C-alpha cells in the first residue's frame, strides 16, 4: 500500500526533472518491485528484444534481482542487463517507504550491442542483417558521466522526498489534532457512554487509519467488547480478554499501551488468524480501570501511539464524569436503592448471604416486618422460600407454591407486581391470623422478560398499607436485586464450568489444558522478572501391566491414590496436573534445581511407601514412579524444549531401572540419577 505521506504527484515531477538532467526516461518502483510510475516512453530496441520469451524472462529476472539490491543500497548504481544494456538505479528512502527510480536502457558503446547480437541474437530470434539499423538508433552514453550525474540526482531526490514526507507528516498531525479537538468540542452535558465509545472507534478508523477498532469494558476478571467498528468487527467483538494476562494487567496498572504482533500471542488471547496485530490502550482514571481501546491490524507509529494514549486518558476522565453524572441525575430513592443493592456484590460467592441481604434491605426500605424471597426449584414447577424475615425459617423451608397458583405463583408466571391494600376486600380471602394487617406486596424479580423469583412483603411496622409509592420504589429495588441474583447464579455456573474445564474428572487434579496455561504464565513471569522455576513429570512404573493383571477399575483407583498422595506431598505453591494417561506433571514456581529435586524425591518416596498394596496378581511388591526433572532457564528457555528435556530425563529414569528421579543437565545428565 502506498504511503499517504508521500505525494505521487511530487514523485512524478521529480522523475521528469531527473529525466531532463540525465537525458534518460525513468520509472518508479516500490520495495516489492511494484511499478508506481511507468516511464513516459519505452526504448524501441529493447522492446524489440523483449519480444522473445527468452528475452522477456531474462529481463524480468534481471530487474527483480537488481531492484532487490537497489532497495538495500544507500547510494545509486548502474547495472548491466542480459542484453548488454545498462540501467541506472537510484534509491529514494523516506521514513516509512523505500522507492527506486530506474532508468530506461542505454548502451555504453556500439560494441555492447554487437557482442549481444553475436552471442545471443539467435536465441532471441534476431537477425544479424538488422545490426546496422539498430546501431544507428542507439546513442552510447559514458558510464562514468552517468554514475557521477546519478550521485547528484540521488541527493536531490532524497532531499525532495524527505521534505515532502515531513511536510505531509506535520500536516497530518495538525489535521489529527484539529479533528480530535473538533470531535470532542461537540460533546454535550448529556452525552451517553455509547456515543463516547463510538466516537473513540471513529477516531481510530478515520483519523489514524485503523482497520478495526473496539472499546472493551471490564466485567469481573475480563474485558468484554461493547462497541466494535471496521472490517473485522464480527471477529473481535466476540473475544473477551482476561484481565490477569500479565501484559494486559501491566498496561492497565501503568496506563500505557501494549502491543501484540506475534501470531502465537494473539491466538493465545483467543483471536483468529485474521488478526495480525493488536494495540491496547487502557481507559483508566487513577486506580480505576474502566476499559480498553483496541486497534487491530493497523501498525501505529510511536507518535500516533502517544497521541492515542493521550486521547484515551482524556476519554477515561470524560467517561468517569458521564458515569458520575448518570448517578447524580437519578432520583434520590433510586440512588439510595442502587447503593444498597451494590453492597450485595460481595455476597455473590455466597447465595444464602445474598438472599438474606435482599430480604433485609427490602424490609428496611419499606418498613415491612415480614418478607420472603421465593425462587423456582430445579424442576421449574414450584417456588421455594430461600430467605425470610419475621417468619419461622424452619416452617418456611417446607412451603411450596406451584407456579401459576396462589398469589406468588401467579405473580411469577405473569411477571406483574401486585399490591393489595386489604386482602379481604381485594381477593375475598380471610387474613391469616398470624398477620397484623391485610395489606401486602408481591413483586416479580425479572431479568428482561424472564421471571427469576418473587419478593413478598407484609405487615408494615407503622400499620399502614402498601402504596403505589412503595410499588415504584420496590420495582427499582427489585431490578437491582434481580441483577444481583442472576449475577450470583452466573457466577456460580461460571465457577463450576471453569472448574470443570481445568479439572481431570478421574483424579480431581488440574488437566493438561490448565497445565499449558500455567506453564506459559511461569515462562512469561520468568522472562520478565528473571525468575527460575522447575518442571517435573513422573510416570507410574509398569502401569500397563497393572491394568492387564488387576483390571482398569483397579488402575483407576491407583491413579486416584497416586494423585492424592502426590498432592499431599507438595508445597502450597506447587501445581500438579494429570499430564496424560499415567503421567503427572508438577510446576514448581521460583524453585531451583536442588530444591525441586527434594520435592520430586519426597513425592516419589511417599508414593512408594504410602500407596496401599492390596492387589492380587500384579507381580510387584510396590507401586513406584519414575521422575524426570528440568529447570528454567538453565535447562531450557521455552516451553517446548523444557517439556522435551523433562521427557528425556524421565526416559533415562525408566531405562536405568525405574523408581528414580533423573535431572536433565545439558552437559552430562547421566551423572544425576538417584
According to the 3-state scheme, what is the secondary structure of 207-237?
A: HCCCCEEEEEEEECCEEEEEEEEECCHHHHC
How far from 374 is each of 340, 358, 400, 403, 466, CA to CA, in Å?
20, 11, 9, 11, 20
pLDDT in tens, 235-259: 998 899 988 888 888 888 888 899 9
Can you spell out the DSSP letters for 604-665? Answer: HHHHHHHS----SS---SS--EEEEEEEETTT-SSHHHHHHHHHHHHHHHHHTTSS-EEE--
Q: For a pLDDT cut of 70, what percent of the chain falls above it?
A: 85
| pLDDT confidence bin for 175, thresholds 50/70/90 | low
Order of strands, edge to edge, in the sheet holding 418-420?
400-402, 382-389, 368-376, 450-460, 440-447, 418-420
CATH level 2 (architecture), domain 193-329:
2-Layer Sandwich (3.30)
- Smallest CA-to-CA distance from 268 within 95, 508, 517 is with 517
Please name the helix (run of DSSP H) or strand (run of DSSP E) that holds residue 252, with its range, or none: helix 246-254
Q: How far apart are CA 486 and CA 447, in angstroms?
A: 8
With a CB cutoff of 8 Å and minimum separation 6, the contacts of 405 are: none
Phi and psi (nearest 5°) for 276? -105, -20
With a CB cutoff of 8 Å and minimum separation 6, the contacts of 422 are: 438, 439, 465
- Smallest CA-to-CA distance from 627 within 590, 586, 591 is with 586
Task: Name the 3-class secondary structure at 592.
Answer: coil
pLDDT at 500 over 80: no
Q: How far apart are CA 281 and CA 272, in angstroms?
A: 20
pLDDT in tens, 257-282: 999 999 899 998 999 999 999 999 99
For residue 633, whether the previous peptide bond is cis, meaning omega lies within 30 degrees of 0, is yes
| pLDDT confidence bin for 433, thresholds 50/70/90 | low
Exposure on the CB side of residue 235, measured as CA atoms within 13 A: 21
Q: Which of 4-13, 17-26, 539-548 has the lowest mean pLDDT?
A: 4-13
How many Cβ atoms are within 10 Å of 64's Cβ, its own excluded? 11
**What pLDDT, on the 0 to 100 scale, is given for residue 628?**
96
Residue 214 · residue 225 · CB < 8 Å: yes
How far from 192 is each of 206, 209, 225, 321, 325, CA to CA, in Å?
21, 25, 17, 11, 10
Residue that is written with C-alpha cell 544507428 in the block: 136
| pLDDT confidence bin for 331, thresholds 50/70/90 | very low
| pLDDT confidence bin for 321, thresholds 50/70/90 | confident
Task: Name the 3-class secondary structure at 129.
Answer: helix
**What pLDDT, on the 0 to 100 scale, is given for residue 352?**
81
**Could you tell me the three cell numbers for 297?**
491490524
What is the domain partition of the chain in residue ranges? 8-167, 193-329, 341-489, 512-671
How many Cβ atoms are within 10 Å of 574's Cβ, its own excluded? 19
Q: How far apart are CA 165 and CA 349, in angstroms?
A: 58
pLDDT in tens, 106-161: 889 989 888 888 888 888 887 777 788 878 888 888 888 888 888 888 888 888 87
Instruction: Give how far the C-alpha of residue 229 lies from the chain's centroid of Cα atoms, to the nearest Å.
Output: 17
pLDDT at 57 over 50: yes
Residue 571 · residue 639 · CB < 8 Å: no
Residue 84 · residue 61 · CB < 8 Å: no
Residue 634 · residue 535 · CB < 8 Å: no
Residue 325 · residue 317 · CB < 8 Å: no
How far from 2 is each of 7, 30, 36, 359, CA to CA, in Å?
9, 8, 9, 66
**Could you tell me the three cell numbers for 20?**
531532463
pLDDT in tens, 559-614: 999 999 999 999 999 999 999 999 999 999 999 999 999 999 999 999 999 998 88
Please name the helix (run of DSSP H) or strand (run of DSSP E) that holds residue 12, with its range, or none: helix 8-22
At the top level of CATH, the class of 8-167 is alpha beta
Domains 193-329 and 341-489 share a fold: yes
Q: How far apart are CA 550 and CA 386, in angstroms?
A: 49
**Could you tell me the three cell numbers for 440?**
401486602
Residue 452 · residue 446 · CB < 8 Å: yes
**What pLDDT, on the 0 to 100 scale, is given for residue 348?**
52
Q: How far apart are CA 423 and CA 458, in angstroms?
A: 11
Torsion, Cα 134 137 141 147, to 10 degrees, reads -90
Of 197-206, 429-438, 586-595, where does the model show the most confidence? 586-595
pLDDT at 187 over 70: no
Report the predicted TM-score, pTM, of the whole model to 2 decimal places: 0.37
Question: Which CATH superfamily, name and number, covers 512-671?
Answer: Reverse transcriptase/Diguanylate cyclase domain (3.30.70.270)
Mean pLDDT of 87-103: 85
b/e code 444-475 from CB counts within 10 Å (16+ = b): bbbeeeebbbbbbbbbbeeeebbeeebbebbe
Question: Which CATH superfamily, name and number, covers 341-489?
Answer: GAF domain (3.30.450.40)
Q: How far apart are CA 38 and CA 221, in angstroms?
A: 56
How many Cβ atoms are within 10 Å of 88's Cβ, its own excluded? 27
Task: Give the 3-state secondary structure of 31-64.
Answer: CCCCEEECCCCCCHHHHHHCCCHHHHHHHHHHHH
Q: How far apart are CA 74 and CA 521, in angstroms?
A: 44
**What pLDDT, on the 0 to 100 scale, is given for residue 195?**
84
pLDDT at 405 over 80: yes
Residue 628 · residue 536 · CB < 8 Å: yes
Task: Name the 3-class secondary structure at 376.
Answer: strand
Residue 385 · residue 455 · CB < 8 Å: no
Task: Name the 3-class secondary structure at 75.
Answer: coil
Residue that is written with C-alpha cell 483407576 in the block: 556
Residue 536 · residue 588 · CB < 8 Å: yes
Amino acid at each position: 500500500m502506498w504511503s499517504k505521506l508521500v505525494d505521487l504527484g511530487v514523485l512524478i515531477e521529480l522523475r521528469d526533472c531527473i529525466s531532463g538532467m540525465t537525458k534518460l526516461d525513468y520509472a518508479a518502483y516500490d520495495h516489492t518491485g511494484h511499478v508506481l510510475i511507468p516511464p513516459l516512453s519505452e526504448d524501441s530496441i529493447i522492446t524489440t528484444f523483449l519480444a522473445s520469451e527468452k528475452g522477456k524472462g531474462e529481463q524480468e529476472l534481471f530487474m527483480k534481482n537488481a531492484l532487490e539490491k537497489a532497495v538495500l543500497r544507500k547510494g545509486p548504481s548502474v547495472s548491466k542487463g542480459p542484453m548488454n544494456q545498462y540501467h541506472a538505479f537510484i534509491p529514494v528512502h523516506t521514513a516509512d517507504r523505500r522507492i527506486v527510480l530506474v532508468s530506461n536502457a542505454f548502451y555504453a558503446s556500439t560494441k555492447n550491442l554487437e557482442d549481444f547480437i553475436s552471442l545471443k541474437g539467435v536465441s532471441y530470434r534476431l537477425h544479424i542483417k538488422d545490426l546496422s539499423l539498430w546501431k544507428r538508433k542507439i546513442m552510447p552514453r559514458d558510464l562514468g558521466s552517468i554514475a557521477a550525474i546519478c550521485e547528484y540526482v540521488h541527493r536531490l531526490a532524497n532531499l525532495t522526498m524527505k521534505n515532502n514526507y515531513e511536510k505531509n507528516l506535520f500536516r497530518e498531525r495538525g489535521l489529527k489534532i484539529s479533528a480530535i479537538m473538533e470531535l470532542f468540542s461537540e460533546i454535550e452535558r448529556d452525552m451517553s457512554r455509547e456515543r463516547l465509545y463510538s466516537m473513540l472507534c471513529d477516531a481510530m478508523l478515520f483519523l489514524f487509519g485503523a482497520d478495526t477498532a473496539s472499546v472493551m469494558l471490564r466485567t469481573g476478571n475480563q474485558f468484554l467488547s461493547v462497541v466494535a467498528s471496521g472490517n473485522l468487527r464480527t471477529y473481535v467483538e466476540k473475544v473477551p480478554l482476561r484481565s490477569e494476562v500479565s501484559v494486559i494487567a501491566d498496561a492497565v496498572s501503568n496506563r500505557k499501551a501494549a502491543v501484540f504482533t506475534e501470531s502465537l500471542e494473539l491466538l493465545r488471547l483467543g483471536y483468529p488468524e485474521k488478526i495480525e496485530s493488536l494495540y491496547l490502550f487502557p481507559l483508566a482514571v487513577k486506580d480505576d480501570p474502566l476499559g480498553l481501546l483496541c486497534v487491530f491490524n493497523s501498525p501505529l507509529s510511536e507518535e500516533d501511539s502517544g497521541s492515542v494514549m493521550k486521547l484515551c486518558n482524556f476519554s477515561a476522565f470524560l467517561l468517569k464524569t458521564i458515569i458520575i453524572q448518570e448517578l447524580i441525575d437519578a432520583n434520590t430513592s433510586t440512588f439510595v436503592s442502587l447503593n444498597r443493592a451494590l453492597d450485595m456484590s460481595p455476597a455473590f460467592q455466597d447465595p444464602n448471604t445474598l438472599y438474606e441481604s435482599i430480604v433485609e434491605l427490602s424490609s428496611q426500605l419499606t418498613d415491612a416486618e415480614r418478607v420472603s424471597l421465593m425462587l423456582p426449584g430445579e424442576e421449574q414447577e414450584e417456588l421455594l422460600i430461600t430467605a425470610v424475615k419475621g417468619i419461622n425459617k424452619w416452617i418456611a423451608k417446607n412451603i411450596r407454591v406451584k407456579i401459576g397458583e396462589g398469589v406468588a405463583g401467579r405473580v411469577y408466571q405473569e411477571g406483574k407486581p401486585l399490591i393489595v391494600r386489604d386482602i379481604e376486600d381485594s381477593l375475598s380471602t380471610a387474613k391469616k391470623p398470624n398477620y397484623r394487617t391485610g395489606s401486602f406486596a408481591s413483586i416479580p424479580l425479572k431479568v428482561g422478560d424472564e421471571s427469576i423469583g418473587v419478593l413478598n412483603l407484609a405487615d408494615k411496622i407503622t400499620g399502614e398499607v402498601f402504596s403505589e409509592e412503595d410499588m415504584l420504589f420496590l420495582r427499582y429495588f427489585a431490578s437491582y436485586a434481580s441483577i444481583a441474583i442472576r449475577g450470583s447464579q452466573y457466577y456460580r455456573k461460571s465457577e463450576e464450568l471453569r472448574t470443570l474445564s481445568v479439572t481431570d474428572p478421574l483424579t480431581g487434579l488440574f488437566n493438561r489444558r490448565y497445565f499449558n496455561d500455567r506453564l506459559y504464565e511461569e515462562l512469561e513471569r520468568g522472562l520478565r522478572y528473571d525468575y527460575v522455576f522447575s518442571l517435573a513429570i513422573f510416570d507410574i512404573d509398569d502401569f500397563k501391566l497393572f491394568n492387564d493383571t488387576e483390571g482398569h477399575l483397579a488402575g483407576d483407583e491407583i491413579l486416584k491414590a497416586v494423585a492424592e498422595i502426590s498432592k499431599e506431598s507438595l508445597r502450597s505453591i506447587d501445581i500438579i496436573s494429570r499430564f496424560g494417561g499415567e503421567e503427572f506433571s508438577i510446576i514448581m514456581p521460583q524453585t531451583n534445581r536442588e530444591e525441586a529435586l527434594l520435592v520430586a524425591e519426597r513425592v516419589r518416596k511417599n508414593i512408594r511407601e504410602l500407596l496401599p498394596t492390596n492387589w492380587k496378581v500384579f507381580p510387584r511388591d510396590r507401586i513406584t514412579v519414575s521422575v524426570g526433572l528440568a529447570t528454567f532457564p538453565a535447562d531450557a528457555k521455552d516451553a517446548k524444549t523444557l517439556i522435551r528435556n523433562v521427557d528425556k530425563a524421565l526416559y533415562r529414569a525408566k531405562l536405568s531401572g525405574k523408581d528414580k528421579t533423573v535431572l536433565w543437565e545439558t552437559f552430562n545428565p547421566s551423572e544425576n540419577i538417584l
